[in-house]
Amino acid sequence: MVRFDRLDTEKSRAAVQSLAEAQKINGDSNTPEVFAALHEIFHGKCYICENKKSITSFQVEHLKPHQGNTALKYGWNNLFLSCAHCNNTKGNKYSPILDCTHVDVDKRISFHFLNPLTNEREIFLEALDENPETQNTLELLTDVYYGKTPQKKAEANLIRCEIRRQLFKFIADIRDYLETEDAEDKQDLFFKIKGELKNNSEYTAFKRWIILDHREICEDFLPFLWNN
């Protein structure tokens, strides 16, 4: 879970207009314009689990449960792109959580994938402050990555498998970067790794914390962790 900028773009303005029209007729806030704008803002990935290859489907999610409150139901700043797994997991159970359009969540919570080269697929998350929103977000993410029901556990396992696969490749690129002596290859790997640290990459929070956990050998990438 990382920060995204809710920019004023042509798509976002169209989304706001469509929400105003939907509110007049008490319609659905999930308009085509809203979905297109959220897909642009969140780079086509779930804002919670950071998965682009949704194991179910992508949905328009309300950061704060609206529960009939029209200001929250149709409020542009309350709408986020989520996969169905995360949306259904979150429901109304975790509120309030950190708003990733205003907060660098991965500065408030540490993201670790233990033993990424094995089949254990153990995720360890830790809150770095005692803020209630941080604690709620930590509980939500733990539920998302592990699940509580048989269906949610199966979905969560697929997500963890995909995280492991991507982190395996990311670590391999870092090792190649550190070991190569060819200047051109090293430069190519530098830009590849730098790109993986941007918020449009999948599972960026985990990749950033790999760099942070090995800062003594990954110092070249420290200036780019939150420079999107």
Map residue 178 onto helix, strand or coil: helix
Strand partners, 122: 114
Q: Are 185 and 192 in contact (CB under 8 A)?
A: no
Strand partners, 80: 61
pLDDT (tens place) for every residue of the chain, 228 residues total: 999 999 999 999 999 999 999 999 988 889 999 999 999 999 999 999 999 876 668 999 999 998 888 999 999 999 999 999 999 999 888 989 999 999 999 999 999 987 655 555 589 999 999 999 999 999 999 999 999 999 999 999 999 989 988 999 999 999 999 999 999 999 999 999 999 999 999 999 999 999 999 999 999 999 999 875
Tell me, rounded to whole angstroms, the distance of Cα 10 from its chain centroid. 23
What stretches of the chain adopt beta strand conformation (E)? 58-62, 79-83, 109-114, 122-127
**Cα gap 216→184, rounded to integer Å:** 23
Q: What is the pTM of this model?
A: 0.92
Cis check for the bond before 116: say yes or no (omega within 30 of 0): no
**Cα gap 224→173, rounded to integer Å:** 16
**Cα gap 36→81, rounded to integer Å:** 10
Q: Which residue has the tokens 């699940």?
A: 147
Q: Which residue has the tokens 């169905």?
A: 84
Q: Which residue has the tokens 């029901």?
A: 149
Q: Which residue has the tokens 């773009």?
A: 9
Q: Are 40 and 9 in contact (CB under 8 A)?
A: yes
pLDDT number for residue 117: 54
